[in-house]
Structure 1
Amino acid sequence: MSPAGLLLAAGQGRRYGMPKALARLPDGEPLVRRALRTLREGGCDPVVVVLGAGADEVPPLPDAQVVVNEDWATGLGSSLRTGLAALPEEVQAVVVLLVDTPGITPQAVRRVAAGARAQTLRVATYGGEGGHPVLLGRDHWDGAGRLAVGDVGARPYLVTQLVEEVPCDDVADGTDIDSPADLDPAVPRDRDA
């Protein structure tokens, strides 16, 4: 069975100046649709999208189950818990992706998701550093959800576990988007910032 996808897109985007779920790439594609397509083309089914700030302004997402995190202002952790709770009972693993990582490719999703089972715990790496996507097997959902507080998501759980690292430098860019300038191809980006 293929893993599910979980797209976290509920934040206010304070540094960005608007919810990133409403932001658009230079070609006009909404970030939320790009991320949804990445999960779909990466083999994830079903895909749950967690919205929050600006949810009523997000374009329709017909290929996804959309849930709204009413507690989005408390941070990423509540969105992770909301999304995990919305997944069907038969799902054994989920690929978690953030809306503000448009350089993630379906190839990276497939690489991280390959052969996933309920006990699998993986993280994509870029330059040896952990990033997204993250794969959480069902055995890890309770622990990850319990420790996901504020804006840290599953990170506190991941540092306490043996996590399989999956290098994805050759197929994706794990950099997150913090400002509209980050989407402008004419502006050089410091990938270490």
Structure 2
Amino acid sequence: MPAITSSAFPEHTLETAPAAARRTMEAVAKKSGYLPSAVGRLATSPQLLDGFLKISAIFESTTLDPLSREVVIMTIATRNECHVCVAMHTAKLTALGADEALIAALRDAGAPPLSDERLQAVRQFTLDVLAAAGAVDDDSLGSFLAHGYTAQNALEVVLGIGAYTMSTLANRLTGAPIDAQIAAFA
């Protein structure tokens, strides 16, 4: 059976997108200053596009600090090999002033533990949640909590896993390319 290519997922513009996706696409373009290719492709399903943007905004409003959220996202992005998410979130980490060594380690799924023990705790907990389909053992949860995270944060990690599993899988399915605006971070 021949492989289905990304041609099954057109890169919609505001003019070609399904009507239900246009308002969302306009909001992304206004916020970003351009319309990301990934958004144009995800617009094929207005519900997926809207759902991802809503859940990612909710994740951004959690009590996890910005660097911890980005660790969750980059852990999912590298695990799922989503080059678009890795580039986008490398740009975000750079904007947050993250250390270059931290960014390099997060971009490498096989990297040794992060030098920042607290950020390593959230990275490891994210991987543990994925490996155990949520049924982490007491040691895993205890280690996460011992680094200053809370039970609420543990559930917020699950929220981030859900949001970014959705986007990484969708970006890979659609063959979303890296936009020129983030190419330097690829």
Fold shared by both chains (TM-score > 0.5): no
**Normalized against structure 2, the TM-score is what?**
0.29
More strand, by proportion:
1
**Normalized against structure 1, the TM-score is what?**
0.28
Where relative contact order (Cα < 8 A, 6+ residues apart) is larger, the structure is 2
Bigger Rg, structure 1 or 2: 2
